[in-house]
Amino acid sequence: MRGMGDLETFLEGEFLAERRYRPALTVEAGIKWPTADAPDIGSGEFDYSLGLIASKEFVGWDMDIGATYTWAGQPADEVLDNVLELSVAAEWHVSKVLDVIGEGVYSIGGGTAIRRGGG
């Protein structure tokens, strides 16, 4: 299969700043646009996502915990499930020029999902 997949657009906004004993909270909203070249790559429908991210900085490393719910578009010939995506990510600052980043993601539901880049 060749071709360009669907375009995804996400906006994030921090609404609660991080404090000493409290993480920052960020809300994110996203749209998957039906721009795929071939019908086997995309659903041909819009998907909408809404999520919440908790972020905390520690000495030498950072941590993010997130939950995102995606309402999948419904093509005429398919029934697609909505998706709940839970994620945990950490960034370890090894030196001024090197960071090690890891992320684990667990999805509940299926049929379609918006894949997010780094946060």
* Tens digit of each residue's pLDDT (9 = 90 or more) over 29-87: 999 998 887 777 777 889 999 999 999 999 999 999 999 999 988 877 777 889 999 99
- Report residue 32 as tokens: 């998957």
Number of domains present in the structure of the chain: 1
Average pLDDT (7-15) is 95
Which residues form the domain of 84? 7-109
Q: Is residue 118 part of a domain?
A: no
Q: How far apart are CA 18 and CA 20, in angstroms?
A: 7
Please report the pLDDT score of residue 50 as a whole number: 97
Question: What integer pLDDT is reported at residue 14 of this predicted model?
Answer: 96
Task: Give domain status of residue 2, yes or no.
Answer: no
Confirm whether 119 is domain-assigned. Answer: no
Angstrom distance (rounded) from CA 88 to CA 110? 19
Nearest to 78 by CA among 116, 106, 110: 110
- In this predicted structure, what is the pLDDT of residue 116? 53
Residue 102, SS3?
strand
Q: Is the pLDDT of residue 119 over 50?
A: no
Give per-residue pLDDT as tens, 80-116: 889 999 999 999 999 999 999 999 999 998 754 445 5
Does residue 2 register a pLDDT over 90? no
Distance set, CA 49 to CA 14, 33, 72, 83 (Å): 17, 12, 9, 9
In a domain, 22, yes or no: yes
> What pTM value is reported for the model?
0.81
Element (H or E) spanning 33, and its range? strand 24-33
Which pLDDT value is given to residue 27?
98
Residue 46 falls inside a structural domain = yes
Cα-flanking dihedrals φ and ψ of residue 22, to 5°? -135, 135
Is 80 domain-assigned? yes
Residues 6+ apart with CB under 8 A from 108: 83, 84, 85, 86
**Structural domain contains residue 56:** yes
